Amino acid sequence: MKLTVLGSGTVVPSATRNSAGYFVESPHLCLMIDCGAGTLHALARYGLPWEMISHIFISHFHLDHVGELASLFFAFKYGMRHSRSEPLTIIGPDGLDRVMKGLSDAFGAQLFEPDFDVQLRMLKPGQKEQLAAGYYLSVAKTPHTPESLAVRIDGQRGSICYTGDTGYSQLLPQFFKEADLLISECSFQKRREGIAHLSIKDAACMAELARVARLLVTHFYFDFDETELKHQLQKYFSGEVIIGSDGLSIEI
């Protein structure tokens, strides 16, 4: 599998970091994870086969993760350069149908009726879905919003996990256990009581508890020196640390 970061930022407008988005490619799968502002054009900027997206996963309904979903469907409706017949499955938490209905009420139902079949799958924490032969997606609850989910993709030769947005959790490391790559939000330098996001130490400790091979940090609400941030994460995490940036690609 190949992972590309479409957006390593947050809701804060940034010259260098789009809102959240990731792209997972394998010979049998084209999966977009989250769809925040800037990620639609990033698909083209990084030369990704967006017309072939087979699955979209939405972690939760904050706009920095879902804000460009309608625009992506607008592109499927009017921006396709090649026709396709393969269906598209959009996967997310309970309430995804309500969000899609809201967008369809606002922008027109035809938006969600491209020339290929679109299926909607709402998953509850603990559920697992087969994406393609040998590829599975499973979800776990995160302490962030009532619906927010973390996701795990198990492929033929490796596994990728993504925290979505989350506060510190003692349960999530079990879900991320021994993944080849954990994409973890890393919102703040220090934990902020009452705010359900991870600090640098939280992100590193959860990765260490999960014994993942590589930790890719992203979703930063602070500016940092890359060497210094790496050093701080390595105090608590013994695997490989990767600092997220838009356009970064990793082979799993």
- For residue 52, give the DSSP letter: G
Q: Which stretch binds Zn ion (CB under 5 A): 1-9, 62-70, 96-104, 224-232?
A: 62-70
Measured from the CB atom, is 4 or 166 closer to Zn ion? 166
Least distance (Å) from Zn ion to the CB of residue 196? Answer: 8
Among 17, 62, 141, 214, binds Zn ion (CB under 5 A): 62
Beta bridge partners of 136: 130, 154
> Min. distance of Cβ 165 from Zn ion in angstroms?
3
- Which of 188-196's residues contact partners 24+ apart within 8 Å by CB, and which partners? 188/221, 188/222, 189/222, 189/224, 195/167, 196/143, 196/144, 196/145, 196/165, 196/166, 196/167
- Separation between Cα atoms, residue 92 and residue 106, nearest integer Å: 20
CB 147 → Zn ion: shortest distance, Å?
Answer: 10
| Strand-by-strand arrangement of the 181-185 sheet | 128-132, 135-141, 149-154, 159-162, 181-185, 214-218, 240-243
> Is 147 near Zn ion (CB under 5 A)?
no
**Cβ–Cβ < 8 Å for 59, 21:** no
Identity of the residue, 135 or 162, whose beta carbon is nearer to Zn ion in the bound complex: 162
Q: Which of 68, 147, 154, 165 binds Zn ion (CB under 5 A)?
A: 165
Q: Identify which range of 111-119, 123-131, 162-170, 238-246 contacts Zn ion by CB under 5 A.
A: 162-170
Q: Is residue 64 within the footprint of Zn ion (CB under 5 A)?
A: yes
H or E element, residue 129: strand 128-132
Rounded least distance, CB 53 to Zn ion, Å: 21
Using the structure block, give the residue that is written with the tokens 């050093």.
231
Closer by beta carbon to Zn ion, 29 or else 186: 186
Q: Minimum Å distance from CB 199 to Zn ion?
A: 15
List contacts with Zn ion (CB under 5 A): 62, 64, 165
